[in-house]
């Protein structure tokens, strides 16, 4: 993977206001692959005191965004199908890993898993990205 692309995407995620708000941090990035982490905290709980699905989705989506755009051209989400497997607890460190399953000129397919530090699966996701032909605007 081109270091310029990798460094630029990682910097954008670090500076992204939403990622900052959610405490999402990049861990690893390669062509068609990314790993991000987030510490689940009490203000991410739903009314039952469990992880809000939106918090888990945010972590999955960030990993998806990084992996799908890792080829240096703009890719946007078409669909994401998430299955929540296991609840998580306040203070848990969660990791989302996105892997490219296939990529054509216009469509990319990704598998994204969220696990805790104990390697327990919290959620799984299959996602489709629409691959535009535009170069990432922040590479200039």
The residue behind tokens 């905290």 is 41
Measured CA to CA, the distance from residue 38 to residue 117 in angstroms comes to 11
Question: Residue 123: which of 40, 47, 41, 65 has the closest Cα?
Answer: 40
| Exposure on the CB side of residue 56, measured as CA atoms within 13 A | 28
Position 103 scores a pLDDT of 96
For the segment 33-91, what is each residue's pLDDT rounded down to a tens digit? Answer: 999 999 999 999 999 888 999 999 999 999 999 999 999 999 999 999 999 999 998 99
In the chain, where the domains are located = 3-139
Position 130 scores a pLDDT of 98
Q: Is 70 exposed, middle or buried (0-12, 13-18, 19+ CB in 10 A)?
A: buried
CATH superfamily of 3-139: Hotdog Thioesterase (3.10.129.10)
For the segment 2-32, what is each residue's pLDDT rounded down to a tens digit? Answer: 999 999 999 999 999 999 999 999 999 999 9
């Amino acid at each position: 993977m081109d270091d310029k692309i990798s460094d630029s995407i990682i910097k954008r995620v670090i500076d992204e206001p939403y990622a900052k708000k959610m405490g999402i941090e990049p861990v690893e990035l390669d062509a068609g692959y990314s790993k991000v982490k987030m510490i689940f905290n009490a203000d991410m709980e739903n009314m039952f005191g469990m992880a809000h699905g939106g918090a888990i989705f945010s972590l999955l989506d960030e990993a998806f965004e990084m992996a799908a755009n890792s080829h240096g051209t703009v890719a946007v989400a078409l669909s994401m199908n998430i299955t929540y497997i296991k609840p998580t607890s306040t203070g848990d460190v969660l990791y989302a890993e996105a892997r490219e399953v296939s990529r054509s000129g216009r469509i990319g397919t990704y598998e994204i898993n969220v696990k805790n530090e104990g390697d327990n699966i919290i959620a799984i996701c299959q996602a489709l990205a629409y691959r535009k032909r535009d170069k990432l605007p922040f590479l200039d």
